[in-house]
Amino acid sequence: MAEPLKIALAGLGTVGVGVIRLIDANAELIARRAGRPLHVTVVSARDRSKNRGVDLSPYAWEDDMVILGEREDVDVVVEMVGGSDGPALALARTTIEAGKALVTANKAMIAHHGLELAGKAEDKKVALKFEAAVAGGIPVIKALREGTAANRIERVYGVLNGTCNYILTVMEDTGREFGVVLGEAQAKGYAEADPAFDIEGTDAAHKLSILAAVAFGTRVDFASVATTGITRVRAADIAQAAALGYVIRLIGMADTGGDGLFQRVQPHLVHCDHPLAHVDGATNAVVAEGNFSGRLLFQGAGAGDGPTASAVVADLIDIARGETGPAFSVPVSELEPLAAAPTGHRRGRAYLRFMVADRPGVLAEITAALRDAGVSIESMIQKGRADTAGEVMVVMLTHEGPESAVSEAVRLLDGSPSLSEPPLVLHILDN
């Protein structure tokens, strides 16, 4: 059998430890599939004395993780430190410049610096792989790069953040409000102490920008992802959606056309007949629509030590086999630099929720704004009598029409004393 692939591991959190355990547990199987053994030779983390539940004595320790790639006993560096910049980026640059392959689970770094790193990897003729950066253990990057390579992907979308999906499905099951469920999710370890990256949609936007680049052969453009999180979704919205035959999910969606690259992360009403409506808990799912393959659904654990470690080791097996290839399916020089697509002309249906003062004339003001903006209303529901704050919830579903009309209606209502907060606009995913 060929010489082992010598691995440096930066970051010994749950995923880093999971990689060590997986390589140890499946060593013989992995060696047969890779054509040679995978050996971790050196590790690095912030705290050398911490008990991580695995024996680290077989491995060398490097205090300065940035120089891991320069060591002679390393063929590939696995980066699981996190963060778009700082030590993670310094390590990635040093590794590739030293002519070593890089495997990373760092979606923020790839979303912000992936083109730079991919270009350097091509120049040095080394692999840059990031399967674990998107959707955890779901092999969606490999599927898009290889399994659908003969297709023109027309749209890619999905549930890309397990924390948000967990919160929304618990709200759905229990009727509890967002803040309560978020606190419970933090206590159980499903949400970070500072959950902003997840609940504001940034994590999903990082992943979406990477998926779009791989699916469409376009340059990564995280800055152009229109992003809205789930913090304004109320239990009453979820209950109303259910009564209408929908669930609420945070959806990342991207497509291309003659007008550029469309990328958006936003809570959607998803029809109960759609596959994404049945994605519960911390699960992730990605739908890719190819012009010959049709609709493909990839679903599985979006995080966790086992699934994410599985994706990391799959990348290592590819490298052991000598499978490098362009990180984004095609060389960086051939990635299309598409402008961000305007959204106003996009057509669809929308869910509009208004929290209004309980007094005469309010409904007439809202319907007048919708009329003047050219929004056609399919149905309207007013929920109950005013609460102790004097608020009433009014929900409307629109007929299909341009998104610009809904945006104009919201603009016309901006600053209205009849509304206690800005309207909530959720687009509807029917098919």
Does the residue 46 lie in any domain?
Answer: yes
Question: Does residue 226 share a domain with residue 171?
Answer: yes
Q: Of residues 158 and 192, which shows the higher confidence score?
A: 158
Q: Which of 133, 149, 175 is the last residue of a domain?
A: 133
Measured from the Cβ of residue 383, the count of other Cβ atoms closer than 10 Å reads 13
Sheet with 5-10, edge to edge strand ranges? 60-61, 38-44, 5-10, 76-79, 101-104, 128-129
Does the residue 318 lie in any domain?
Answer: no
- Where in the sequence is the domain holding 379, given as residue range(s)? 347-429
Q: Give the mean pLDDT of 207-220.
A: 96
Question: Does residue 153 share a domain with residue 112?
Answer: no
By C-alpha distance, which of 112, 10, 131 is closest to 59?
A: 10
CATH of the domain at 352: 3.30.70.260
Q: Give the mean pLDDT of 192-220.
A: 95
Cα 6 versus chain centre, distance: 30
Outline where 338-424 has alpha helix (H).
Answer: 362-373, 403-413
* Token pair listed for 7: 């691995």
218: helix, coil or strand? strand
pLDDT in tens, 346-394: 899 999 999 998 888 899 999 999 999 999 999 988 865 555 567 899 9
Q: Are 358 and 391 in contact (CB under 8 A)?
A: yes
Banded pLDDT at 37 (limits 50, 70, 90): very high
Q: Where are the beta strands (DSSP E) in 205-259?
A: 226-227, 246-257
pLDDT in tens, 47-93: 888 888 888 989 999 999 999 999 999 999 999 998 999 999 999 99
Q: Give the mean pLDDT of 100-126.
A: 96
pLDDT value of residue 136: 81
Question: Does residue 120 share a domain with residue 144?
Answer: no
Residues involved in catalysis: 207
CA dist., res. 200 & res. 203, Å (int): 8
Question: Does residue 290 share a domain with residue 144?
Answer: yes
Does the residue 373 lie in any domain?
Answer: yes
Q: Which of 80, 111, 133 is the last residue of a domain?
A: 133
Does the residue 82 lie in any domain?
Answer: yes
Does the residue 328 lie in any domain?
Answer: no
Q: Are 176 and 170 in contact (CB under 8 A)?
A: yes
Q: Which of 90, 113, 133 is the last residue of a domain?
A: 133
Q: Where are the beta strands (DSSP E) in 45-191?
A: 60-61, 76-79, 101-104, 128-129, 153-159
Question: Does residue 125 share a domain with residue 246?
Answer: no
Q: Of residues 324 and 422, which shows the higher confidence score?
A: 422
Q: Give the mean pLDDT of 7-29.
A: 94
| Count: domains in the chain | 3
Looking at the predicted structure, is the pLDDT value of residue 296 above 80?
yes
Sign of CA dihedral 96, 98, 99, 105: negative
The pTM of this model reads 0.94
Does the residue 387 lie in any domain?
Answer: yes
Question: Does residue 414 share a domain with residue 293?
Answer: no
pLDDT value of residue 138: 87
Question: Does residue 129 share a domain with residue 156?
Answer: no
* Token pair listed for 265: 């992360």
- In the Cβ-directed half-sphere of 31, how many Cα atoms lie within 13 Å? 14
Question: Does residue 150 share a domain with residue 65?
Answer: no
429 DSSP β-pair partners: 270
Place of tokens 């390589």: 23
Question: Does residue 223 share a domain with residue 112?
Answer: no
Outline where 278-402 has alpha helix (H).
Answer: 305-320, 362-373
CA dist., res. 138 & res. 140, Å (int): 6
CA dist., res. 128 & res. 114, Å (int): 9
CA dist., res. 48 & res. 40, Å (int): 17
Does the residue 198 lie in any domain?
Answer: yes
Question: Does residue 153 share a domain with residue 121?
Answer: no
Does the residue 57 lie in any domain?
Answer: yes
Q: Which amino acid is at 278?
A: H
CA dist., res. 366 & res. 422, Å (int): 12
